[in-house]
């Protein structure tokens, strides 16, 4: 099979590289909305004059801005304007800079909606776990789709989605985009590079609240055990076994292993069960890989099992096995009754 060689022309590469540089360094200047708008106004006032007069006017304005670092960063951007084409590219970059934060706020809304839904779910449920797993990626994916939709509207010259006051601004943006596209600019692709960087800087990269933290919240908030009375410790007789949660309740010692999936880890807990002086040993897991044979093996060593309610309610075999519970029943009274 012959694959046609992929080539990118020098002019196409150059305009996209300069666009990336201008947009990236505009972001680095950390201009306020007012400063960006004033720069845009200067460009508008000088639009029928030479690019040199426009550059000089912007440079004079930069001198009035507070903060030497901001001045230096902004001057670095302006120094790249060396002809009328560069000025058009700068103006287009400035417009996208003004729009970027609006898209960023919109992208974050999906993340907020997911977190609001999480607040209504039981923290040890399978649904909570699956939804929280995707939470940190929601802003990135939503941002990518929003940017794609935005540039699609520009491509189709659709300006109906903004207010009347913004229509003129967007119409000019569409016009600029069309002109620059003819010169090889791939605005959507380059903008997404910058937009992703902004998203990554604006969100916390975490996969939601982890499983152990959610169990701790149940132990403290719902069961009523003080966090000061809960330890993470190794077994006194078998140092190879670590309890994610160790505490006493009604003068009995409880050791809990908390892992979303069991894999082969449950065997370690079984070995320890033969020698530990702990009164109650518990495995808390989602249950997605809990087979009946594993459950029977764990229970044969007097280790209790709590699994996600969604799994428990669909597994008649596990329901019939004494000592296997839904996390719905992970309560103070159940612990006392074990």
Q: Does residue 4 belong to any structural domain of this protein?
A: no
Could you tell me the strand order of the sheet in which 324-326 lies?
A: 231-234, 242-249, 252-258, 280-285, 303-307, 324-326
Q: Does residue 224 belong to any structural domain of this protein?
A: yes
Q: pLDDT value at position 1?
A: 53
Residue numbers in the chain where pLDDT is lower than 70: 1-6, 154-155, 157-172, 174, 199-209, 240, 264-275
| Boundary-marking domain end, from 157, 183, 202 | 202
168 and 256 in a common domain: no
| Boundary-marking domain end, from 159, 185, 202 | 202
**Residue 164, burial from CB neighbour count under 10 angstroms (0-12, 13-18, 19+):** exposed
| Boundary-marking domain end, from 150, 169, 202 | 202
Q: pLDDT value at position 183?
A: 83
264 and 171 in a common domain: no
- Give the number of domains in the chain: 2
Residue 66 CA: distances (Å) to CA of 35, 75, 242: 11, 13, 56
Q: pLDDT value at position 210?
A: 83
Q: Domain range holding 273? A: 211-337
Specify the DSSP class assigned to residue 328: G
Q: Does residue 64 belong to any structural domain of this protein?
A: yes
Q: Does residue 150 belong to any structural domain of this protein?
A: yes
Tens digit of pLDDT for each residue in 198-248?
Answer: 766 655 444 445 888 899 999 999 999 999 999 888 877 777 677 889 999
Q: pLDDT value at position 223?
A: 93
220 and 154 in a common domain: no
Specify the DSSP class assigned to residue 279: S
251 and 161 in a common domain: no
Give the CATH number, domain containing residue 238. Answer: 3.40.91.80
276 and 193 in a common domain: no
221 and 171 in a common domain: no
Q: pLDDT value at position 282?
A: 92
Spatial separation of the C-alpha atoms in residues 144 and 150, rounded to whole Å: 10
The DSSP line for 50-68 is -HHHHHHHHHHHHTTSS-H
176 and 226 in a common domain: no
164 and 44 in a common domain: yes
Q: Does residue 3 belong to any structural domain of this protein?
A: no
């Amino acid at each position: 099979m012959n694959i046609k060689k992929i080539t990118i022309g020098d002019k196409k590469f150059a305009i996209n590289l300069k666009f990336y540089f201008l947009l990236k360094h505009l972001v680095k200047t950390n201009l306020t909305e007012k400063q960006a708008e004033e720069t845009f106004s200067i460009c508008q006032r000088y639009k029928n004059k030479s690019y040199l007069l426009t550059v000089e006017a912007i440079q004079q304005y930069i001198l009035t801005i507070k903060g030497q670092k901001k001045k230096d960063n902004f001057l670095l951007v302006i120094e790249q304007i060396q002809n009328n084409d560069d000025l058009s590219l700068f103006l287009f970059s400035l417009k996208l800079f003004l729009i970027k934060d609006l898209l960023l706020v919109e992208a974050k809304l999906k993340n907020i909606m997911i977190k609001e839904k999480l607040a209504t779910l039981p923290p040890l449920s399978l649904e909570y776990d699956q939804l929280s797993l995707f939470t940190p990626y929601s802003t990135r994916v939503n941002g990518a789709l929003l940017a794609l939709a935005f540039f699609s509207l520009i491509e189709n010259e659709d300006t109906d989605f903004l207010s009347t006051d913004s229509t003129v601004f967007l119409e000019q943006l569409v016009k600029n985009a069309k002109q620059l596209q003819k010169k090889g600019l791939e605005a959507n692709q380059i903008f997404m590079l910058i937009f992703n960087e902004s998203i990554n800087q604006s969100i916390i990269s975490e996969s939601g609240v982890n499983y152990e933290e959610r169990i701790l919240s149940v132990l403290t908030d719902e069961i009523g055990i003080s966090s000061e009375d809960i330890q993470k410790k190794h077994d006194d007789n078998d140092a190879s076994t670590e309890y994610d949660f160790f505490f006493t309740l009604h003068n009995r010692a409880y050791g809990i292993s908390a892992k979303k999936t069991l894999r082969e880890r449950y065997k370690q807990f079984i070995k320890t069960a033969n020698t530990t002086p702990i009164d109650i040993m518990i495995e808390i897991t989602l249950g997605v890989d809990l087979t009946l044979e594993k459950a029977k093996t764990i229970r044969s060593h007097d280790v209790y099992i709590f699994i996600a309610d969604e799994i428990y309610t669909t597994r008649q075999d596990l329901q019939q096995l004494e000592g296997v519970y839904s996390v719905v029943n992970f309560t103070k009274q159940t612990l006392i009754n074990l």
